[in-house]
Structure 1
């Protein structure tokens, strides 16, 4: 079970809609101060732009949600952008769309589609991550069991990552396992190696792993 879904790195994408240019920036953020710094910098960079609209969501529970139309008709920019982020179940993320007016008015419905599409198209291209808790486990076994252990790892139905391997008089593996997989993985390993190994639960660590959105 993930803690949240977000993006790994900053990203930008540009759309041309009826001669207006919409540049959407996506940023992973974890507090409002970080957003303010980013927004101020983009304001300076795009000082000739007509509008810099935004939406952002913060917190693993997505409780902090902010948006701005920045001079566009009320409800035509910030809310559509925010709804895209919410629909994708994203948090700890900011979307800022810069608009350079091209001379053709889009109307309220056109603006809603434009700002919504700008964020949606950017999200189709960016790398998503899911933040999860993993149990770090240390396993010590004899060399005679090593081949069977590696075969077990390579054919396991559980998500397991080998973080480190130490070779001394025995072989020591440090693994990362999803929390919900720990018990079943341990039981299967007991059966495979006839319980001839040492198992020690270490710390729980939070990691980011790639995420494939089913909406893509």
Structure 2
């Protein structure tokens, strides 16, 4: 597993999933279809949940948990009709135990005729969430910030040298007599990059 603290100079890293994953867990006739997604915001989460409800419209329960933000302070767990804390919390627990954020895990249950009991439900949802993560890949990402810069064309070489030195991403650019550029980079570089940009004669910067 990547170590978000491996670069002691920065505190802008977090762990999340590389892609979406899915699978099936069975217990006493009940089927638990599990899904895991890397997500950016609540709107994306709502859309993913709506898509799954439409696809699995006949399922009795769509239980889920999600976490957003580097510190994981924005989160939710939903039992969707299962006994309180028997589904959403076990899913959230697996997200927390893997130190993940910007993630949504959904477990869609089809009842198989045999009740699992509180303990059985907790174990089934915990196992389903763990399998969703295991079927994926945990990666390290950085919190990104974006700024806009405007500068005279003769300063282009100096700006591009800075872009290359700090491995900045050029999101958009307009090359005229007065050039404009949108740059994105990891949060930990903010002070270093903005100071270097300010030192370029004639350059103006603002947040995106």
Same fold (TM over 0.5): yes
Q: Counterpart in 2 of 1:13? A: 23
Q: Tell me the residue number matched to 1:160.
A: none
Following the alignment from structure 1 to structure 2, what is the Cα–Cα distance between the partners of residues 127 and 206?
Answer: 21
Residues 169-210 of structure 1 show CA distances to partners (whole Å, capped at 9, x for unaligned) of xxxxx6779xxxxxxxxxxxxxxxxxxxxxxxxx88349xxx
Size of the alignment, in residue pairs?
143
Aligned twin of 1:22: 32
Are 2:70 and 2:143, in contact at CA under 8 Å, matched by a contact in 1?
Answer: no
Deviating 4+ runs (over 2 angstroms) = 174-177, 203-207
2:116 paired residue number: 106
Are positions 1:205 and 2:188 aligned together? no
Unaligned 5+ runs, structure 1: 135-173, 178-202, 208-216
SS at match of 2:37: strand
CA RMSD for the aligned pairs? 2.1
**TM value normalised by structure 1:** 0.62
Q: Distance in 1 between matches of 2:67 and 2:141?
A: 15
Pair 1:67-2:77 in alignment: yes
Contiguous gaps of at least 5 residues in structure 2: 6-11, 145-163, 168-182, 188-208
The 3-state SS of whatever aligns with 1:6 is strand
**1:47-196 maps to which residues of 2 (within 5 A)?**
47-132=57-142
Deviations along 1:142-172, one digit per CA (max 9) or x if unpaired, are: xxxxxxxxxxxxxxxxxxxxxxxxxxxxxxx
